[in-house]
Structure 1
Amino acid sequence: MKPDFTERLLRGLYSLALYALLPVTIYHLVWRGFRHPAYLSRWNERYAFYGDKVAQDPTMQRTLWVHAVSVGEVAAAAALINTLLKKYPGRRMVVTSITPTGSERVQALWGDRIEHVYLPYDLPGAVGRFLDRYKPSQALIMETELWPNLLFGCRDRGIPVAILNARLSARSLRGYRVLAPLVSRALRTVTRVCAQTAADSERFVLLGARAESVVVTGNLKFDVTDRDDADAFVETFRRHAGRRMVWIAASTHPDEELPVLLAHRRLRRRWPDLLLLWAPRHPERFRPVVDRLRSAGLRTATRSEDRMAGKDDAAFVIDTLGELPMFFGVSDVAFVGGSLQDIGGHNLLEPAAAGIPIVTGPHLHNFTQIADALKAAGAMRVVESDEVLGDELDVLLGDPELRKKMGKAGRALAESGRGALARTLTAVRL
């Protein structure tokens, strides 16, 4: 389908605005680089200039391209990518991300089995250079990466696009209002939208996706399988840390750090040997969290330096990527962050699958259906403010039967949701 005048006009205005904002992209990279030095490297990839970078074996057959913006999307895509690598060993696999943490996780999981670069900014020239270099025969985009020039560029080159594990909250739908005329046209170029829920599918259609292209396949995060070494990890952890109660604060944001610290100090007055496992959401918060704990007089070890918590440690900071699920397996209660701040919440399925009760704040709009299901099953409790976080944790830590009941309900819900991977592969005909 050739672009009409309205599309050309909208694309032109959008692209002109992006080019005008080029200095802002550089400022953003520098600003992020002060907190996370990895943002200061590989700038050429963000504008699709690859220089002498050697692509993977050009004799390999048609390219499969998967885009997973950051760590969470990489986790959701992991089972899919592993399946594709086994099913199509002769095909070239390119995986893109946007964040350095996503990049690190991609390379840790697959190394040189795939080729990885950053997805370039949504500038027409950069998008064209990326697509012409890698020539994907299929684009598989995770969750909600709706970049107009990228989608139009794929259509113009005859590259079918599928949006997998697609989610679109009511808030995000409202956020697209300004660009709705352009985004709706771009969405109509997508050949398949594999939505997590019926509500997500309805919102994608409202935004502009063709109804016949949208199918509900479920959440790929349900299909994450247990690690083979999970039991051995638990035993090793207990041997070093001792067999005591443990709670975990997962994927926290800056404004949640003080409530977590205050809750832990209060809880240790009742249980002096209670251990806190703490995994900040972003790497730039690893060191500040360690410093904050130690300044509060709490003996603190870290995953990167000490590997395991010791018997005398009051806190243990998980300052590595991709290991959080293992630590859910040694915890008695999980607080999942991004929920006391108005972020929208983070992955609730990992602690549910580990069979431990979950506590969150009230801001869960990114995981509305999963949160509602976990609450209805009795697997999760929501606190309305940071002041009562410690109260809820106190109740759960003091009631082993309640913890067992909630954990069992969460695990059952997680297991009942599996099958999204098979439905996705069928829907996209991979």
Structure 2
Amino acid sequence: MRYFYTFVMYLATPLIMLRLWIRGARYGNYHRRWPERFGLFQRPQFTGSLWVHAVSVGEVNAAEPLIKALRHDYPNAPLVVTTVTPTGSARVHQLFGDSVFHVYLPYDLPFAVHRFLKRVRPRLALIVETEIWPNLYFACRRRGIPLMIVNARLSERSMRGYRPLLSLVRPALRTVRQIAAQSRTDAARYRLLGADQAKVMVSGNLKFDMPVPDGAVDEGAALRAQWGARRPVWIAASTHEGEELAVLEAHLDVLRRLPDALLLIAPRHPERFKLVEHSARSLGFSVATRSVERVPGAHQVFVIDAMGELMPFYAAADLAFVGGSLVPIGGHNVLEPAALARPVLVGPHTFNFEEITLTLIREGGADRVEHVDQLGRHVLELLRDERRRTQMGCQARRVFDSERGAVARVMELINRVLGE
């Protein structure tokens, strides 16, 4: 099955090249780095690296506390961080600068994987969340590189997608040294896919251990001072196509009752920044953007057209709607607003953060909006009820604090593997 899979990957190479060209046109200098996807990059002058793979922005954010722990415990070990997306790359550079070696993960073609591993020469491979690449996994085993899946997550949708490929996925998972799952549900799904039961354990979610960025609370307080401490403010974060219009229409509902209310909206993908700005203007809103006005004044909508700046705006808002949940994307990180004691709203589609979201809802730190038409009502009710917002925020923070410790558990596993 793996030989057939590899044959299909080679057949798809022209389409892969086309996709690289399209993405290069969309993201500035990406076209200059596409050879990295085939293992072509300047060989770094080190050996025995610790390699962390995080697909995109969300996984990089999740890996942040783990990478910092690796830097602390293994100060002499070179750190390699790979991503797949340009936004993930930008986030790596924003968080770690030149203290880590960043390169794009090669496509799962044998020659590309061989070049990559030959150049970075890792002594440990850490895959964050869900990335099962058979050729890469087997190449690590052949070279004696222990491979771990950390913060392992497997949604019901991903489970269904992998099931037809069990004869390919099961042998790949059998090469993995350890799977540290976010939850019992995730651990059970990995076992159903064929992972060795003895190698699967529940470590918790690394995102609970993420630090609140230095100055985020103070910066949020400064923002509130500029637009008025009593002004109603809500944020819609990591929004996608299909829900941004619903968010803007919800804000129209809010403005009918609270005419001085402010919406902060942060699209998930940079290519949507301008589209969302134009949509807001076409609906008659007065609009400001992070890239031009920097902070809103008497505007009704503020578009956060920048990456990696959500935390100060969460701190400045009265409540947070977390996107990717009104449409079947699966939702995004509800822990960031929870860490800042902000009440959370989510839509019906939260399978990417299933257990965390259910815990927040059960403990009173979050509410679910079952239909797009109900978003405005939920936002308005919370904006008009300061006592309930405070209670929800406290509960959200309590859930966040109670679940911490995943980094220490994962580091214990890493120390054991490296010790062997």
For normalisation by structure 2, the TM-score amounts to: 0.96
- Partner residue, 1:158: 144
Tell me if structure 2 keeps the 8 A contact 1:38–1:100.
Answer: no
Q: Which residue of 1 aligns with 2:268?
A: 281
State the distance in 2 between where 1:46 and 1:160 align: 22
Matched letter for residue 217 of structure 2: D
Instruction: Give 1:18's match in structure 2, choosing from 9, 19, 24.
Output: 9
What letter corresponds to residue 286 of structure 1 in structure 2? F
Instruction: Report the Cα offset of residue 428 of structure 1.
Output: 2.3
SS of 1:215 mapped into structure 2: strand
- Structure 1 residue 231: deviation in Å? 3.2
Are 2:359 and 1:373 aligned?
Answer: yes
CA shift at 1:85, angstroms?
A: 1.3
Q: Distance in 2 between matches of 1:229 and 1:307?
A: 17
Q: Pick from 209, 230, 238 the counterpart of residue 224 of structure 2.
A: 238
Please report the RMSD computed on the Cα atoms of aligned residues, expressed in angstroms. Answer: 1.4
- The AA in structure 1 aligned to 2:216 is A
Q: What does the per-residue CA deviation read over 1:370-414, in whole Å, with 9 as the maximum and x for residues that have no partner?
A: 111011111111122111111111111111111111111111000
Query: Could you tell me which residue of structure 1 aligns to residue 241 of structure 2?
Result: 254
SS at match of 2:341: coil
2:86 to 95, 100, 107: 100
Which residue of 226, 243, 266 corresponds with 2:253?
266
Please say if residues 356 and 407 of structure 1, whose CA atoms lie closer than 8 Å, have aligned partners that are also in contact.
Answer: yes
What residue ranges of structure 2 are gaps of 5+ in the alignment? none
Give the drift of 1:304. 2.1
1:90-124 deviation per Cα after TM superposition (whole angstroms, max 9, x unaligned): 11111000000000010111111111010011111
1:42 to 19, 26, 33: 33
Partner residue in 1 for 2:182: 196
CA distance, structure 1, for counterparts of residue 75 and residue 408 of structure 2:
19
Amino acid in structure 2 at the alignment position of 1:332 = D
Q: Report the more deviating stretch, 234-243 or 99-108.
A: 234-243
Distance 1:146 1:165 in 2: 14
Amino acid at match of 1:190: V
Q: Tell me which residue corresponds to 1:143.
A: 129
Equivalent position SS for 1:352: helix
Structure 2 residue matching 1:178: 3-state secondary structure? helix
Residues 1:326 and 2:326 are matched in the alignment: no
Aligned residue number for residue 5 of structure 1:
none
Matched, 1:77 2:63: yes
Matched position secondary structure for 2:292 = helix
Partners of 1:292 and 1:258 lie apart in 2 by 8
Structure 1 unaligned segments of length 5 or more: list them. 1-9
C-alpha distance in 2 between matches for 1:387 and 1:129: 51
The answer on whether the counterparts of 1:345 and 1:363 sit within 8 Å (CA) in structure 2 is yes
> What are the residue-to-residue correspondences of 1:303-382 with 2, within 5 Å?
303-310=290-297, 312-382=298-368
Mean Cα displacement is larger for which, 219-228 or 91-100? 219-228
Count of residues in Structure 1 that have an aligned counterpart in Structure 2: 415
Regions of 4+ moved over 4 Å? none
SS at 1:255 equivalent: coil
Q: Distance in 1 between matches of 2:8 and 2:118?
A: 24
1:315 deviates by 1.3
Note the C-alpha offset of 1:199. Answer: 1.0
User: Secondary structure of 1:227's match?
Assistant: coil
What residue in structure 2 maps to residue 179 of structure 1? 165
- For 2:32 and 2:292, the matched residues in 1 are separated by 25
CA distance in 1, matches of 2:336, 2:359: 14
Task: Give the AA of the match of 2:312.
Answer: M
Kept after mapping to 2: 8 A contact 1:192/1:428: no
Q: CA deviation at 1:54?
A: 5.0
Report the more deviating stretch, 234-243 or 204-213. 234-243
Amino acid at match of 2:271: E
**Contact 2:81-2:101 within 8 A present in 1 as well:** yes
Per-residue deviation, residues 186-219 of structure 1 (Å, max 9, x unmatched): 0000001000001111111111111111111000
- Is it true that 1:295 corresponds to 2:255 in the alignment? no
Asked if 1 retains the 8 angstrom alpha-carbon contact of 2:221 and 2:315, the reply is no
Task: State the alpha-carbon separation in 2 of the partners of residues 278 and 349 from structure 1.
Answer: 18
> 1: CA distance between counterparts of 2:292 and 2:43?
35
Q: Percent of aligned pairs with the same residue?
A: 51
3-state SS in 1 of match to 2:291: helix
Deviation at 1:290, TM superposition (A): 1.1
173-182 or 38-47, which moves further after superposition?
A: 38-47
C-alpha contact (below 8 Å) 2:322/2:344 kept by paired residues: yes
8 Å Cα contact 1:358/1:380 also seen in 2? yes
8 Å contact 2:62–2:206 — kept in the other structure? yes
CA distance in 1, matches of 2:201, 2:191: 11
After superposition, the C-alpha distances for 1:68-99 in whole angstroms (9 at most, x for unaligned) are 00000000111111111122221111100000
- More displaced 10-residue stretch of structure 1: 381-390 or 36-45: 36-45
1:340–1:386: 8 Å Cα contact kept in structure 2? yes
